[in-house]
């Protein structure tokens, strides 16, 4: 298990007898929180991906498409170059990320409402454009910032599940479970929306309310994830897409299965990222991208061969 | 006079500032099979959309069973009125799963799975539309004629009182056109369903409907029996083409013959 070698037998005896030893603390203070965070964030990002893909009826939409990650990144960048962290403590980094994300969510949302109707296509376009603007702003900040700040920014943007703050881990876990429960209120609505907005209305779905609540839900899940762990790409795109191919388009099982497989996938990727060139660690986003992308292309090409 | 199921009063509506329908008054009696005809852009589809609340009236009201449709909850309305749209976007799901989507308005709060009753109703509507054999096929793989039948099955799974169809025979061969129209007639007569059907083919409308509504440029030109509405004056004026209207010897209904330019067969 990582650079600290603990066998299975040792593991059992650790749990029961050796509280307070170094191995015990590695296991429960470093590894366990990281696994819980991985589960929470992998689940949250995949869930956000499924919801947004269902909402936009577009399989290429992912949680970061709407500029939410850009907003969070900008918040963190500003925090780092103004050195708020030293004054406000470690929690200010995720906090500023979250504020940035919320601000962008609000902006995208209000720019896309025309005459009381949330225009889905405009939401997408506005989000993509805001993403570009934000990433340019981040580049601008990086270009004029000090070397040591630059390192902090890059480290954050690459994304990592190493989060020392137990409170944030618990919060993230709570948010993602709550998000999953909440999403189930809309499982039929998402199925109905797959036929188009007008058809969903014919099936008695309050389309306007559903669109708004689902957008806010997906945004919050993404905002929380990005602020806690930085930008971990690909999970929210590839896992939902993969599950759609595997189990079909019924959101009643798609929501939970994407959540679970996203959670498992991210923990797996993180374990690889930690161990593959240990004692050094790779950014987990590198693994999610390479592994997720390769599996996806493999599955897609196999599927095309069959048909 | 029979009880009315749908009443449209002084309805004007449209998109943005553009008025599509102006001052429509229309009453539909329960149990009727009513055809809506009119040229492209005359407001037929918009009329259907106003009835289901997809677009809000600028003026006037739509009453379903004497209640303003905006006073009826969306789910309640979906249990009473079902729509068969012109075309549909779908993911790859099976025909049976698709038809079961029609049960959504009937699900109770926190009911995630369909009950045995839902499945039985889906099966019944598949049987009724002669598509039970397709139930495990993907909706993307079946022919457009079959898809139209499945769309009707899904609408029937809503167990509506009023069925609205938007050009159900468009792009279909004559065999499927007749199959669809026979099904509509059967639903109307045997199941007691009130049906409003938008049709482009005046002859299909003439042969199958009890009553017709002729729309032109957003106005209701005439509502009445087939013989009243399909008169050459109105038809020629509205469609801006010359027609000859004869009686179909089989059922005494009006039959419309188009005029090709002279000399084409010489």
Interface test with A, best of B69, B93, B99 (most A CBs within 10 A): B93
Please enumerate residues of A whose Cβ is less than 8 A from a Cβ of B: 57, 184, 187-188, 191-192, 194-196, 198-199, 201-206, 244, 248-250, 252
User: What mean pLDDT, rounded, does chain B reach?
Assistant: 92
Residue B75 near chain A (CB below 8 Å): yes
Whole-angstrom Cα distance, residue A16 to residue A216?
44
Which residues in chain B have their CB less than 8 angstroms from residue A246's CB? Answer: none
Average the pLDDT over A257-268 and give the result: 95
pLDDT of A163 above 80:
no
Mind listing the domains of chain B with CATH numbers? 4-65+161-258 (3.40.50.300), 91-158 (no CATH)
**CA angle (B173 as vertex; B170, B179 as ends), nearest 5:** 85
Which residues in chain B have their CB less than 8 angstroms from residue A203's CB? Answer: 78, 101-102, 104-105, 158
pLDDT of A154 above 60:
yes
pLDDT in tens, A14-48: 666 666 677 777 777 778 889 999 999 999 999 99
Helix, coil or strand: residue B68: strand
Share of chain A above pLDDT 70, in %: 91
Which residues in chain A have their CB less than 8 angstroms from residue B104's CB? Answer: 188, 191-192, 203-205
**Nearest-by-Cβ selection for A249 from B75, B89, B93:** B93
Whole-angstrom Cα distance, residue B37 to residue A304?
44
Rg of chain B over all Cα atoms, to the nearest angstrom: 19
Residue B14 near chain A (CB below 8 Å): no
What value of ipTM does the predicted structure carry?
A: 0.90
**Nearest-by-Cβ selection for B104 from A196, A198, A204:** A204
- Calculate how close chain A gets to B265, using CA atoms only, in Å: 47
**Nearest-by-Cβ selection for A195 from B73, B75, B90:** B90
Mind listing the domains of chain A with CATH numbers? 30-306 (1.10.3470.10)
Whole-angstrom Cα distance, residue A136 to residue A59?
26
pLDDT of residue B27: 94
pLDDT of A1 above 60:
no
**Nearest-by-Cβ selection for B52 from A187, A202, A249:** A202
Whole-angstrom Cα distance, residue B161 to residue B191?
10
Residue B158 near chain A (CB below 8 Å): yes
- In this prediction the pTM is 0.89
Which residues in chain A have their CB less than 8 angstroms from residue B90's CB? Answer: 194-195
**Nearest-by-Cβ selection for A250 from B97, B107, B158:** B97
pLDDT in tens, A41-62: 999 999 999 999 998 888 888 8
pLDDT in tens, B106-147: 998 878 888 999 999 999 999 999 999 999 999 999 999 999
> CB of A217 within 8 A of CB of A255?
no
- Calculate how close chain B gets to A175, using CA atoms only, in Å: 21
Residues 96-155 of B with CB under 8 A from A: 97, 101-102, 104-105, 107, 112-113
Share of chain A above pLDDT 90, in %: 34
Asked if B88 and A194 come within 8 Å (Cβ–Cβ), the reply is no
pLDDT of B155 above 50:
yes
Residue B45 near chain A (CB below 8 Å): no
Whole-angstrom Cα distance, residue A253 to residue A99?
32
Lowest mean pLDDT among A74-88, A255-269, B37-51: A74-88
Q: Which of A15, A41, A17, A42 is nearest to A26 (CA)?
A: A15
pLDDT of residue A67: 87
Lowest mean pLDDT among A189-198, B152-161, B176-185, B255-264: B255-264
Whole-angstrom Cα distance, residue A68 to residue A218?
10
Tell which wins on pLDDT, A79 or A84: A79
pLDDT in tens, A212-248: 899 899 989 998 898 888 888 888 988 998 898 888 8
A265 to A40, A113, A183, A289, B145: CA distances (angstroms): 11, 35, 20, 11, 43
pLDDT of residue B203: 93
Average the pLDDT over A173-192 and give the result: 95
Asked if B78 and A202 come within 8 Å (Cβ–Cβ), the reply is yes
Interface test with A, best of B70, B74, B158 (most A CBs within 10 A): B74
- Calculate how close chain B gets to A8, using CA atoms only, in Å: 41
> CB of A175 within 8 A of CB of A224?
yes
Residue A307: HSE in the Cβ half-sphere, 13 Å Cα cutoff: 6
Residues 236-255 of B with CB under 8 A from A: none
Which residues in chain A have their CB less than 8 angstroms from residue B14's CB? Answer: none
Tell which wins on pLDDT, A83 or B79: B79
Burial class (CB in 10 A: 0-12, 13-18, 19+), A272: middle
Q: How confident is the model at residue B259 (pLDDT cuts 50, 70, 90)?
A: confident
Interface test with A, best of B78, B108, B158 (most A CBs within 10 A): B78
pLDDT of residue A173: 95
For CA atoms B107, B108, B111, B114, the dihedral sign is negative
**Nearest-by-Cβ selection for A199 from B53, B85, B105:** B85
Residue B88 near chain A (CB below 8 Å): yes
- Calculate how close chain A gets to B58, using CA atoms only, in Å: 14
Alpha-carbon A125 to chain mean position:
21
Residue B82 near chain A (CB below 8 Å): yes
């Amino acid at each position: 298990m990582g650079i600290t070698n603990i066998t299975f037998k040792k593991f059992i005896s650790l749990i029961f007898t050796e509280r307070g030893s170094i191995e015990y603390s590695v296991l429960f203070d470093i590894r366990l929180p990281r696994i819980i965070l991985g589960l929470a964030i992998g689940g949250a990002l995949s869930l956000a991906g499924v919801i947004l893909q269902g909402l936009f009826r577009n399989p290429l939409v992912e949680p970061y498409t709407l500029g939410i990650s850009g907003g969070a990144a900008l918040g963190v960048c500003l925090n780092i170059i103004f050195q708020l962290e030293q004054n406000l403590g470690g929690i200010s980094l995720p906090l500023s990320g979250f504020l940035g994300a919320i601000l962008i969510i609000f902006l995208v949302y209000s720019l896309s409402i025309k005459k009381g109707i949330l225009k889905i296509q405009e939401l997408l376009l506005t989000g993509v454009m805001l993403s570009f603007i934000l990433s340019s702003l981040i580049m601008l900040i990086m270009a004029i910032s000090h070397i040591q700040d630059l390192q902090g920014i890059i480290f954050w943007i690459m994304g990592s599940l190493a989060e020392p703050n137990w409170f944030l881990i618990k919060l993230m876990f709570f948010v993602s479970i709550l998000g999953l429960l909440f999403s189930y209120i809309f499982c039929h609505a998402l199925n109905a929306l797959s036929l188009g907005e007008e058809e969903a209305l014919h099936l008695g779905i309050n389309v306007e309310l559903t669109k708004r609540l689902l957008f806010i839900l997906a945004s919050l899940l993404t905002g929380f994830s990005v602020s806690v762990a930085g930008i971990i790409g690909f999970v929210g795109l590839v896992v939902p897409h993969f599950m759609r191919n595997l189990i079909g388009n019924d959101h009643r099982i798609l929501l939970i299965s994407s959540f679970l497989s996203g959670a498992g996938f991210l923990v797996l990727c993180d374990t690889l990222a930690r161990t593959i060139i240990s004692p050094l660690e790779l950014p987990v986003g590198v693994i999610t991208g390479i592994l997720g992308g390769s599996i996806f292309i493999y599955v897609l090409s196999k599927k095309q061969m069959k048909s | 006079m029979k009880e009315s199921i749908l009443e449209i009063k002084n309805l004007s509506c449209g998109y943005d500032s553009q008025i599509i329908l102006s001052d429509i008054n229309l009453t539909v009696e329960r149990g009727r099979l009513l055809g809506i005809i009119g040229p492209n852009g005359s407001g037929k589809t918009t009329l259907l959309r106003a009835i289901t609340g997809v677009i809000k009236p600028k003026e006037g009201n739509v009453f379903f069973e004497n209640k303003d449709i905006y006073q009826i909850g969306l789910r309640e309305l979906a249990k009473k009125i079902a729509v068969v749209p012109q075309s549909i976007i779908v993911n790859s799901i099976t025909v049976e799963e698709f038809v079961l989507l029609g049960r959504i308005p009937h699900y109770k709060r926190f009911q995630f799975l369909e009950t045995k009753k839902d499945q039985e109703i889906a099966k019944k509507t598949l049987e009724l539309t002669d598509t039970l054999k397709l139930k495990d096929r993907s909706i993307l793989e079946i022919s457009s004629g079959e898809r139209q039948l499945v769309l009707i099955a899904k609408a029937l799974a809503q167990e509506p009182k009023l069925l609205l169809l938007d050009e159900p025979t468009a792009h279909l061969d004559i065999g499927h056109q007749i199959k669809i129209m026979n099904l509509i007639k059967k639903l109307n007569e045997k199941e007691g369903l009130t049906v409003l059907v938008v049709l482009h083919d005046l002859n299909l409308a003439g042969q199958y409907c009890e009553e017709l509504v002729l729309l032109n440029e957003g106005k209701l030109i005439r509502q009445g029996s087939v013989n009243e509405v399909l008169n050459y004056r109105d038809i020629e004026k509205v469609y801006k083409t010359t027609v000859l209207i004869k009686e179909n010897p089989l059922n005494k209904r009006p039959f419309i013959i188009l005029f090709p330019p002279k000399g084409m067969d010489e």
